Amino acid sequence: MVITRRIWGIVWRISGAIFGLFMVFMTLKGLFLIRGDILDFGKRSQSAVGLVEDRQTRYVPDVGTRVDYIIRFTTQDGESISYRERTAVDLQLRVGQRVRVRYMPDNPSYAMVDSARQDSSTTVTYVMLIAIALGFLVAAVALGVSLYRFLKKITNSDPGNSPL
């Protein structure tokens, strides 16, 4: 059976579309897993008032400067917990400032500052994942088009020949 240029073009376009859709699916799956973890934390966590004990800046290669906060709070069981709050955005907290903290009752050291800034950084994460998914889709279409043009070019002298 002779594979024509048209069939190869269709095969490559379909392959590119399948790859693009697969990458979009995997990115969205990751997005929903992250969202599920956040929702689970929101349902199961308990609230406490904490105190910012220290503010530390550190440099992360290829990322930049990050700000960590050492926060101490007391659980509803009376246990005093101190943890390091690592965030992608500077929460602009001051040493000595009181903050609302959400923590897991079965593992109180798994905690985070409950703030609108944290919610906005989660939104940024969602937007970034969606942009990555769209980028994969565009890349897949571009790959399909460029491969089609390449195959068209190399089979132009004899359209009935397969490049393989």
Q: How confident is the model at residue 35 (pLDDT cuts 50, 70, 90)?
A: low
Q: Where are the domains of the chain?
A: 5-152
Q: What is the CA radius of gyration of the chain?
A: 26
Task: Tell me the CATH number for domain 5-152.
Answer: 2.40.50.140
152 against 58, higher pLDDT: 58
pLDDT in tens, 133-154: 778 777 777 777 777 777 777 6
Query: Per mean pLDDT, which of 5-9, 21-25, 48-52, 137-141 is the most reliable?
Result: 48-52
**Whole-model pTM?**
0.50
φ, ψ (nearest 5 deg) of residue 110: -90, 95
**Mean pLDDT across 92-109:** 88
25 vs 36: CA distance, rounded Å: 16
| The pLDDT value given to residue 116 | 47
Flag whether pLDDT at 82 surpasses 90.
yes
